[in-house]
Amino acid sequence: MRKTTALLLFVLASTLSAQLAPGPTPPLPPARSSLHFADITGDGRDDIVYDNKLYVNTGSAGFESPGPFVVAEPIADVFDINGDGVPEFLTRSESLQIPGASAPPAVQFHVFARNAAMQYKQIAAFPVGKIAYIADLDSDGRDDVVLANTEFEGVIDTGTRVDFLVSRGDGTFDEKGTLFAPSFYNVDFVRHYHLAAGDLNRDGHTDLVLRGLDQLGILLGKGDGTFAAPITRYLPRELGTVSPQLADVDGDGNLDFIFTAKDIIRVLLGDGRGHFTRESSASTNPRLAERVNAPKNLVVGQFTGKNAVEIAGGTHDGDLVVFAWRGNKLAEAGRVVTGLPGLMLTGADLHGDGTTDLFAEATASPVYIPGQFYFGRAAAVAAQTSLPATGARRRSVRGPGASVAEQRYKVVFGSECAAQQATNWRLERDGIFGVPVEGTAEAVFIGDSMYVRSGRYDYGVLARSGNEYTGQMYLSSCGGLSVRVVATPE
Ligand SMILES: [Ca+2]
Ligand SMILES: [Ca+2]
Ligand SMILES: [Ca+2]
Ligand SMILES: [Ca+2]
User: What pLDDT shows up at residue 234?
Assistant: 86
Class of residue 140 by CB neighbours under 10 A (exposed 0-12, middle 13-18, buried 19+): middle
Ligand nearest to the CA of 267: 4
Q: Residue 421 in 3-state DSSP?
A: helix
CA 173 to ligand 2 center in whole angstroms: 10
Tell me the CA–centroid distance for residue 136 and ligand 2, in Å.
Answer: 4
Cα of 167 from ligand 2 centre, angstroms? 6
Strand ranges across the sheet with 442-446: 408-413, 479-488, 468-475, 458-465, 449-454, 442-446
CA 295 from centre of chain? 12
Q: How far is the CA of 230 from the centre of ligand 4 (A)?
A: 21
Q: What is the pTM of this model?
A: 0.74
What is the spatial distance between Cα 345 and Cα 315, in angstroms, rounded to a whole number? 10
Q: 277: closest CA among 446, 55, 458, 29? A: 446
**Distance from the alpha carbon of residue 24 to the mean position of ligand 2, in angstroms:** 39
Give the phi and the psi of residue 383 in degrees, each rounded to 5.
Answer: -65, -40
SS (HEC) of 252-291: CCCCEEEEEECCEEEEEEECCCCCEEEEEEEECCCCCCCC
| DSSP 8-state class, residue 227 | B
Tell how far the Cα of 8 is from the centroid of ligand 1, in angstroms. 30
Q: Which ligand has the shortest distance to the CA of 223? A: 3
272 CA from centroid of ligand 3 (Å): 9
Block means of pLDDT (10 residues each) for the chain, 490 residues, are: 32 26 35 74 86 77 69 90 95 72 74 90 84 92 90 73 91 88 51 80 94 86 92 86 93 96 92 92 77 84 89 87 94 84 83 82 59 61 26 26 44 71 52 43 70 69 82 78 72
pLDDT at position 5 is 32
Compute the distance from residue 356 Cα to the ligand 3 centre, in Å. Answer: 26
Q: Which ligand lies nearest to the CA atom of residue 78 in the structure? A: 1
Ligand nearest to the CA of 89: 1
Of the listed ligands, the closest to the CA of 112 is: 1
256 and 248 in contact (C-beta within 8 Å)?
yes
* pLDDT, position 122: 93
Backbone φ and ψ for 171, nearest 5 degrees, come out as 95, -5
Ligand with smallest separation from the Cα of 255: 4
Cα 137 to ligand 3 centre (Å): 10
CA of 252 to the centre of ligand 4 (A): 5
Amino acid 11: pLDDT:
24
Decide if 258 contacts 298 (C-beta within 8 A). Answer: yes
Within 8 A by CB and 6+ apart from 32, the residues are: 361, 363, 368
Q: pLDDT value at position 272? A: 95
What's the CA-to-centroid distance between 42 and ligand 2, angstroms? Answer: 21
According to DSSP, residue 90 is labeled E
Counting ligands in written order, the one closest to the CA of 80 is 1
Distance (Å) from CA 142 to ligand 1 centroid: 8
